Structure 1
Amino acid sequence: MKRIPHDTSGEPAPNPLRVLTLEDLRRRTSRKWRAYPADVLPLWVAEMDVPLAGPVVRAVTDALALGDTGYCTGTAYAEALAAFAHKRWGWDGLAVERTAIVPDVMTGVVEMLKLVTGPGDPVVVSTPVYPPFFEFVEHMDRRVLQAPLGADLRLDRGTLAEAFQQAVAGGRRAAYLLCSPQNPTGTVHTADELAAVAALADRYGVRVVADEIHAPLLAGGVLFVPYLSVPGGENGLSLMSATKGWNLAGIKAALAIAGPAAAADLARLPEEVADGPSHVGVIAHTAALRDGTGWLDALLAGLDDNRRLLADLLAEHLPAISYRPGQATYLAWLDCRALGLGDDPAQVFLDRGRVALSSGTPFGTGGAGHARLNLATSPELVAEGVRRMAAAVG
């Protein structure tokens, strides 16, 4: 069934991906639009080519007009997320008293890992996965242990079991940094898969920290299952945010959430961590979750259209590229190995076609020969991106 978007007034909301022109976008000063020369079409980093949701703009504008730019406090963000989780995912287990505001998801990931592991301890990740997982974990003096996804781009239980067993060998503490939904593949882990993760984590004594930042960005008909909601997930820790769903990377804020059995761990979070989040960011994220769902639904409908469009364009112009439309996120994981462009096809597309995608190699095992394309733009720019890619190998 096609998703029918509505704004808060009940009227159909316009597709945010069709509002801004290329001229509008090139006025932006953010990383996506300034990292490359003006002749390059940027379809890489996780920024969306959209205007912000009206409720977010109003909330931030009102705060600035009032000079409400001090330090953040209160539970409004957590309450808004709990209400959103109930309505969108049918999850009533997000207890406000088991949350903490953190500056952003990756800072929260670091702080959660510090609570359950020590220096030199291993952190298991399922690859290909978001490159900062490697960078942040190694910077905090932990060791990354890769447990690659299966050929179907889903969690491989046997591989995970082997990785968990290796991680705890010698009596070390260990954690599993779960990406859910998975970036870059767009895979949404099922309740059964997540319950299997929890069972394995319990068996081997591995603590699970879940990055669930892409959870609001689901394809039509797909159900997101919070890790903390599955049997055995009670001692897990999760990070959630409105950042990706509403394009709020520039006004950061996130929430750390503990399962019932992990409340004591979260209570040990250093007080100074709570000084890092932006008060204006918290205001923006709260408004998005509470009042921006009509805008989100319009975005999701547009992303569904763009996934179908990309599949059709690749089939017509670049049939050697293998693409499975993701169940979530606005990212497309492209298997370009049949093109014979080497480990980094994104570099070829950039050099010869002047279109910037994300290289697959930094995503770990399974990334070589792949590229990640950002679908969160207008259909016209998706088509232009494929045209440039085809020209690069033609």
Structure 2
Amino acid sequence: MLQVTALPLSELRERTSEKWREYPSDVLPLFVAETDFPLAPTVKAALQRAVDLGDTGYIASRTPLPAAFAGFAERRYGWSPDPARMRTTADVSMGIVELLRRVVQPGERVVVTPPVYPPFYDLVAEAGAEVLRVPLRDTGTGWELDLDGIRSAFEDGATAMLLCNPHNPTGTVHDRDTLVALAELADEFGASVVSDEIHAPLAQPGTGFTPFLDAGEAAQRVGYAVVSASKAFNLAGLKCALMVTADDATTAVVRGLPVEVEWRTGQFGLLAATAAFSPESDAWLDGLLRTLDENRVLLEDLLATHIPGARYRIPAAGYLAWIDLTALGWGDNPARRILTEAKVALHYGPAFGDEGRGYVRLNFGTSPEILTEAVTRIAALVDR
């Protein structure tokens, strides 16, 4: 059984990415969605070979990535997307914007479901549209899409929805029945659904993750998925994502995008993603999921022991914890105090929407030692 272990802090501080350069060295950075693990051996080998060959030019007009992703989707999700219905771009955010620009008109409204990944608000605006908020429903044990609210939004004229599947920051894996119902709603009102599935490879085994385009015939008609290996394999800086469709009309939309949308794909990103989605990377990904499973449970234990006022639900996917600190009385944005006084950087809850007031988002894609130290530092504020 492969064990995926985070690098020691001394090595991590040699990295020059956002996570390790935004704050001084006395701060533990658990804010941005980068992980602390070494590259998967297959990915490292692919990048090393490219360096050795000087394979650093433009991406080719035909690449093995679509077929690699199709194989990955079949093995991991039981879904068989058509490689001929895929096209690459630089990253998931760019794919979202380019798709929204073609499925909504300027000034039309796009449904988002807060608390949600903060750039969603900006991406809708960049596409010339307006955000229509339909918050997730808190069931008492988790979160779910508010299908009645989404129906009302479509009745009120919204022409598209930006879906987060799995959901960031809650780690919710939307069940198949919910996605089928959402697709049928969109189909009924002639709306489009753009599904951000960047966290999909990180759905824990047994959660029943369903790709949106695999949620029935209506989903195929109304849906676009944007996928990437970047979150699971820590490849964000290499710039590569795939736009995926499952219907002739939606495929025509993607094929009609300017060639520059595809040419913005990074060559290293494409090579790394192809390696990440290969069968040879499955054992590493399984090992990563086991490590994240251990960390998400460890975080629950640490919070219960040291910060009993915190409310945390173990996420079904990803390495991001959505933690309610309202009971501590640290205001709408407790991450500010935690950063200043505990020297732990967490993502600001209110950035995800009004529903994030009193919350923080914590990245547990790290070592147990760093996770324990971070919670211990925050707990010291409670003890004061």
TM-score over 0.5 (shorter chain): yes
* Contact 1:176–1:209 (CA under 8 A) maintained in structure 2: yes
SS at match of 2:144: coil
Residue in structure 2 matched with residue 155 of structure 1 by the alignment:
145
* Contact 2:114–2:355 (CA under 8 A) maintained in structure 1: yes
Output the amino acid matched with 1:160.
Answer: I
* Contact 1:330–1:376 (CA under 8 A) maintained in structure 2: yes
CA distance in 1, matches of 2:238, 2:288: 20
Q: Which of 271, 286, 289 is 2:277 aligned to?
A: 289
Q: Which of 353, 367, 386 is 2:375 aligned to?
A: 386
Output the amino acid matched with 1:88.
Answer: R
Q: Which of 105, 116, 137 is 2:103 aligned to?
A: 116
Output the amino acid matched with 2:253.
Answer: D
Residue in structure 2 matched with residue 8 of structure 1 by the alignment:
none
Deviation digits for residues 142-188 of structure 1 (CA, Å, limit 9, x no counterpart): 101111000132111111112222234xxxxx210000000000000
Q: Which of 206, 210, 220 is 1:221 aligned to?
A: 206
Structure 1 residue 352, shift from structure 2 partner: 1.4
1:369 aligns with 2:358: yes
CA distance in 1, matches of 2:87, 2:316: 29
* Contact 1:348–1:392 (CA under 8 A) maintained in structure 2: no
Structure 1 residue 259, shift from structure 2 partner: 1.9
Q: Which of 11, 22, 46 is 1:59 aligned to?
A: 46
In the TM superposition, 1:32-111 aligns within 5 A as 32-73=19-60, 74-92=62-80, 94-111=81-98
Output the amino acid matched with 2:175.
Answer: T
Structure 1 residue 16, shift from structure 2 partner: 2.9
Structure 1 residue 194, shift from structure 2 partner: 0.2
Structure 1 residue 375, shift from structure 2 partner: 0.6
* Contact 1:343–1:369 (CA under 8 A) maintained in structure 2: yes
CA distance in 2, matches of 1:295, 1:327: 19
Structure 1 residue 33, shift from structure 2 partner: 0.8
CA distance in 1, matches of 2:85, 2:234: 26
After alignment, is 68-77 or 178-187 more displaced? Answer: 68-77
In the TM superposition, 1:20-39 aligns within 5 A as 20-39=7-26
Deviation digits for residues 262-309 of structure 1 (CA, Å, limit 9, x no counterpart): 122222111121110011210000001103111111110000000110
CA distance in 2, matches of 1:326, 1:346: 20
* Contact 2:116–2:352 (CA under 8 A) maintained in structure 1: yes
CA distance in 2, matches of 1:167, 1:37: 47
Q: Which of 166, 170, 184 is 1:181 aligned to?
A: 166
In the TM superposition, 1:213-362 aligns within 5 A as 213-231=198-216, 232-235=218-221, 236-260=223-247, 261-290=249-278, 291-362=280-351
CA distance in 2, matches of 1:16, 1:204: 48
After alignment, is 363-372 or 135-144 more displaced? Answer: 135-144
Deviation digits for residues 101-139 of structure 1 (CA, Å, limit 9, x no counterpart): 111100000011111112111111011100011112213
* Contact 2:97–2:126 (CA under 8 A) maintained in structure 1: no
Structure 1 residue 14, shift from structure 2 partner: 2.1
Output the amino acid matched with 1:116.
Answer: V
CA distance in 1, matches of 2:215, 2:185: 13
SS at match of 1:250: helix
Output the amino acid matched with 1:339.
Answer: L
SS at match of 1:128: coil
Residue in structure 1 matched with residue 3 of structure 2 by the alignment:
14
CA distance in 2, matches of 1:365, 1:238: 27
Output the amino acid matched with 1:277.
Answer: T
SS at match of 1:16: coil
Structure 1 residue 202, shift from structure 2 partner: 1.3
Q: Could you tell me which runs of 5 or more consecutive residues in structure 1 were left unpaired when the two chains were aligned.
A: 1-11, 169-173
- Tell me the percent identity: 47
Structure 1 residue 392, shift from structure 2 partner: 2.0
CA distance in 1, matches of 2:227, 2:127: 21
CA distance in 1, matches of 2:193, 2:374: 38
Q: Please, what TM-score do these two structures have when normalized by structure 1? A: 0.93
Alignment RMSD (CA, Å):
1.1
Deviation digits for residues 312-349 of structure 1 (CA, Å, limit 9, x no counterpart): 11111111111000000100000111111111011111
* Count of residue correspondences: 375
Q: Please, what TM-score do these two structures have when normalized by structure 2? A: 0.96
Output the amino acid matched with 1:324.
Answer: R
SS at match of 1:101: strand
